[in-house]
Chains A and B, each alone.
Chain A
Amino acid sequence: MNPLLILLGIGLIFQTLGSLALHRFPDVYTRLHGATKCSTFGSIFIYLGVVAYATTLSTPGLILGAHTLLVMLLILLTNSTGSHAIARSAYRAGIMPKQAVVDKLAEEKK
């Protein structure tokens, strides 16, 4: 099998699961788990697929691969800060987690 196809396949599976999580989970926090993290993991594999494709090209391909690795690093940084910002502002806006078995933050705020 072509390694390029395997990488793209893994990436697509996780992207699909991420969008499925958006429909299955009950509230904003649980949806963030699926929608932001699973799709990041999926895009890491898609970027690795692009890098694998770039290594088969000549000189411009090396530049394409370097750019893709840089974008991968940046998306890892911005994804975690972004989803933390969404969760924090959602909690400050008063949205309580649904089906929660424990909420230490609410106990602390009292």
Chain B
Amino acid sequence: MQKNKNNDNITPITAAVFSLLTYLALTAGSGSILLWSLPELIAAIIFAAVTALLVYRVFNSLKIKTTPAFLNPIRWILLLAYALGPFFIALTKANLDVAYRVLTGKINPGIVKIKPDLETDLGITLLANSITLTPGTLSVDLDEENNLFIHWINVKHPEPKIEDVCSCFPEWIRRITQ
């Protein structure tokens, strides 16, 4: 496990910046100060402050470990490449597979356990969300050692290899988050 003691203040500020950018993107074209009107700009700043406060309180009370290295832009480019490349291909394949199972009704469900060996909380979150977003696999729970329990619609083997369940996701996520 990583130990990050000095980044307690970075997370709320990052959240505030993201909130501000999202609000500005959604209200672009509303007025004459650059692209925005004055009330929208004030509202954006207020909402960013409220978001920062909420993130600070939630992260402090739940003691969530954050990964400041994720602010590195190279990791963002890798994440984008992952989302558009291998992830989208896996998503399409899995959707066609589930579409076939919906039409024929041939299902073989079960809950299997995989050991992804990811160290950071961010990595395991990204992997669990990638698995859930891919049809046919659905992450149900995880234990203390970051092993995921996955509901699989077509169980081929009761103790499968990671590649069978989520193709090449763990390697990409290790590259992005570590």
Contacts and interface: CB of A to CB of B under 8 A. Distances in A.
Interface of A: 14, 17, 20-21, 24-26, 29-30, 32-34, 37-38, 40-41, 59-60, 63, 66-67, 70, 76-77, 79-81, 83-84, 87-88, 91, 97-106, 108
Contacts of A79: 133
B132 interface: yes
B149 interface: yes
Contacts of B105: 24
Contacts of A14: 95, 99
Nearest to A34: B102
B98 A21 contact: yes
Contacts of B94: 37
Interface string B106-149: 01111111000000000000001110111110111101000001
Given A37-B133, A37-B134, A91 B141 contact: yes
Interface string B3-25: 00000000000000000001001
Contacts of B136: 33, 37
Contact of A80 (B110, B132, B153): B132
Nearest to B134: A37
Given A76-B133, A101-B109, A66 B98 contact: no
Interface string B76-111: 000000000000000110110011001101011111
Contacts of B135: 33-34, 37-38, 41
A102 B157 CA distance: 9
A84 B132 contact: yes
Contacts of B143: 108
A1 to B, nearest CB: 20
* Most chain A beta-carbon neighbours within 10 Å: one of B102, B107, B141: B102
A10 to B, nearest CB: 10
Given A32-B138, A37-B134, A38-B95, A104 B102 contact: no
23 contacts: A17-B99, A26-B107, A30-B109, A32-B138, A33-B135, A34-B135, A41-B95, A63-B28, A66-B25, A67-B25, A67-B26, A70-B26, A79-B133, A80-B130, A84-B132, A88-B140, A97-B111, A100-B111, A102-B155, A105-B113, A106-B111, A108-B113, A108-B143
B28 A25 contact: no
A83 B25 contact: no
